[in-house]
Structure 1
Amino acid sequence: MSSIKNVLYFQSALGVLANMFLLFFYIFIFLGHRPKPMDLISCQLNFVHIMMLLTAGDIWIADLFESLNIENDFKCKATFYINRVMRGLSICITCHLSMVQAVTISPTNSMLAKFKHTLKKYIIYVFFYFWLFNLSFSSNQIFSAGAYINVSVTNQIKVSKYCSHFPMNNIRDLILLVTTLRDVFLVGVMLTTSTYMVIILFRHQRQCKHLHSTRHLRASPEKRATKTILLLVVFFVFMYWVDFFISSTSILLGRYDPVILTVQKFVMNAYPTITPLVQISSDHRICQQVFLKGTIFFFF
């Protein structure tokens, strides 16, 4: 198990470093230029993913709490609550990212074109709503998670070395139902916007073939950004359903098998780890800045 835990540490460390790199990069952009809506959304997503990785399972913050000799019950409630809030924000912001890009690349004669000028105006309000919604509807984790007690009559489900889930009551069942409906709705919106963007790209590709030779075609920044977001959305939806299947299986079995729990942690951390790497490789501004700084450093 130590080798598996080392893999999880490496995965989370890689994700945290990549997200921090992008977070600082976007902060420098905001200080020097007028930020674009996509930059604001990406910056928010990077911060959320850093917190997700830091609060995943018994890694990082959980170990910090243990070293500070903080009570196990508080540690469990804090890590579970923060992680669930960040997971909710991740799906909301990813959905928002796909919607904004779909509006951005929509033709001028489409119904979505009229929303292009209002995106930046209301983007801060959208972020505020996302945070308020997820902070409220993830509050059930404060009551459903707690320190593990080695007593079978509590019907608790052990999910880590120190933490467990306790039986749900009617209110927490309702909150769980609402959050599940939220996730299903947002995944549906992501699939819809992704299909729309694929159609737009396909039409644009056909038009370009009639005007130019395929050999001389170059992808525009909007097209590259659209392909990147499509890749992220598809990867997110796939990882979401894998995680959902693992969680549902564990709930039906009434326990969390250590192997299944480890696989679930790896799946949960996959999206926040892969996302910044895809963003770094696809954003030409990062490549230009790194090349420019490297060149200056080489000469001086």
Structure 2
Amino acid sequence: MVKKKRTFFRFFDVRITIFFEITIGIIANTVLLLFHILTFLLQNRPKPLDLTIAQLALIHLVMLMTMNFITTDTLGFQGWEDGLTCKVIIYVHRLMRALSICTTCLLSVLQAITLSPRNCCLAKFKHISTHHYPCCLVGLWVFNMLLNGRFLVSIGVTPNVTSHSLIFVTESCSLWPINYLFRYIFLSLVNILDISFIGLMALSSGYMVSLLCRHKRQFQHLHSTRLSPKTSPEERATQTILLLTVFFMLMYFLDCATFFSRSILWNHNPVNLCVHMLVGNGYATVCPFVLMSTEKRMIECLPFRCKRQ
């Protein structure tokens, strides 16, 4: 009896932590998005990097808001009675997750292009990315909307009749069985895309690290080692995106590990389910804090910063 009671309180604490994490993430992404909207209104031509960060904040904001509804249903706080709600919530959440990995990869590649020297083959993409970047973002949304469109068809309300062919997504929503060939093609395409994006992140991150190391050696060669080199805005942005990319890859593999462990080993353990939710929301919650911590324009607007000046 004491063991069951202790397990219940542990499960209850984890649930509170999930909602706290979602709330903090929603607030942080809202602040980051509003800041960039204000920046867009004050500038005639926003930079591609700012557009990407604003899109990432919007994606994570919507993803966490839909995750709040999914969590309330999964943990039994509130259920959904109609199939339309299931389709829309699950579809939007899966769409935002797909756009999150695409945009993070795009952010890493874009910073690598920005940091590349003039004699590099990537330098020719600097002007192309500036003029055609909005079209690239629109194409990214359209592609992912079409790719995840199957959730609008295969998601429905869980029936009262027990069926082993259903895959439970939340307490009220289930994934209806589809053709094996179609499911195999979809899963293969999704996995190939995820591996491709992770590979691009790793390549662009390695390229940026090599550029930063080369720049540091050149600076030490030209100047005395006694002088402390000042970090340029480009280097600060690169370090931030490198940190963000590494954290994303870490959380991605950790999310996969917790998903497989929950599916194979602890399928009916509610604590493991909550831990998987915590890991799944980790990147969307931490990402805006990492971006805001090195955003000089936001730091200068803080009250304590104004008082010091």
TM-score > 0.5, shorter chain as reference: yes
* Aligned residue number for residue 139 of structure 1: 149
Q: Which of 226, 235, 240 is residue 223 of structure 1 equivalent to?
A: 235
Report what 2:258 is aligned to.
246
**Residue among 113, 121, 132 paired with 1:111:** 121
Residues 61/116 of structure 1: CA separation in 2 closer, same or farther (3 Å cut):
farther
Q: In the alignment, which residue of structure 2 is the partner of 1:265?
A: 277
Distance 1:120 1:105 in 2: 14
What's the offset of the Cα at 1:156?
2.4
Paired position in structure 1 for 2:24: 14
Question: Is contact 2:73-2:170 (8 Å) kept?
Answer: no
Deviation larger for 258-267 or 38-47 = 258-267
Q: 1:158 aligns with which of 168, 181, 188?
A: 168
| Cα distance in 1 between the residues matched to 2:271 and 2:143 | 33
Candidates 194, 208, 213, aligned match of 2:219: 208
Corresponding residue number in structure 1 for 2:298:
286
Q: Write the letter of the residue equivalent to 1:44.
A: Q
Q: Which moved more, 1:180-189 or 1:69-78?
A: 69-78
Q: Is residue 189 of structure 2 the alignment partner of residue 178 of structure 1?
A: yes
| Residue 28 (structure 1) aligns with | 38
Q: Deviations over 1:196-224 (max 9, x none)?
A: 00100011111111122344201100000
2:270 aligned partner, one-letter code: P
Distance 1:226 1:256, change over 3 A: farther
Determine the C-alpha separation between the residues in 1 that align with 2:274 and 2:254.
Answer: 13
Residue 180 of structure 1: how far off its partner (Å): 1.4
C-alpha distance 257-155 of structure 1, shift in aligned 2 (>3 A): farther
CA distance change for structure 1 residues 2 and 59 in 2, over 3 Å: closer, same or farther?
farther
Deviates more, 1:139-148 or 1:45-54: 139-148
Which whole-Å CA distance do the structure 1 matches of 2:66 and 2:268 have between them?
Answer: 18
* Shift, 1:154, TM fit: 3.4
Contact 2:86/2:157 (CA < 8 Å) preserved in 1? yes
- For residue 167 of structure 1, give the secondary structure of its aligned residue in structure 2: coil
1:67-111 Cα offsets, whole Å, 9 max, x none, are: 7x8634333222211111000100111111001100000011111
Per the alignment, in what secondary structure is the counterpart of residue 164 of structure 1?
Answer: strand
Query: One-letter code of the match for 2:131?
Result: K
Distance 2:72 2:38 in 1: 27
TM-score by length of 2: 0.87
Q: Following the alignment from structure 2 to structure 1, what is the Cα–Cα distance between the partners of residues 165 and 267?
A: 10
Query: Hey, what's the Cα distance between the residues in 2 that align with 1:250 and 1:27?
Result: 40
CA distance in 1, matches of 2:80, 2:161: 22
Structure 1 residue 59, shift from structure 2 partner = 4.9
Structure 1 unaligned residues grouped into runs of 5+ = none
Matched residue count: 294
SS of the residue 1:56 aligns to: helix
Root mean square deviation of aligned Cα:
2.6
Aligned to 2:84: 74
Q: Distance in 2 between matches of 1:249 and 1:86?
A: 24
Cα 1:270–1:254 shift into 2, 3 Å: closer
- Counterpart in the other structure of 1:2: 12
| Pairwise CA distance, 1:261 | 2.0
Query: Partner letter of residue 38 of structure 2?
Result: F
Report the CA distance between 1:253 and its aligned residue: 6.2
Deviation at 1:183, TM superposition (A): 0.7
State percent identity of aligned pairs.
Answer: 38
Measured in 2, the distance between the counterparts of 1:279 and 1:166 equals 39
TM-score normalised by length of structure 1: 0.89
Partners of 2:114 and 2:126 within 8 A in 1: yes
Rounded Cα–Cα distance in structure 2 between residues aligned with 1:213 and 1:253: 58
Q: What code does the residue aligned with 1:8 have?
A: I
Query: Which runs of 5 or more residues in structure 2 are unaligned?
Result: 1-10
Hey, what does 1:128 align to over in structure 2? 138
Residue of structure 2 aligned with 1:41, choices 40, 44, 52: 52
Contact 2:22 2:68 in 1 (8 A): no
Could you tell me how far apart the structure 1 residues matched to 2:12 and 2:82 are? Answer: 22
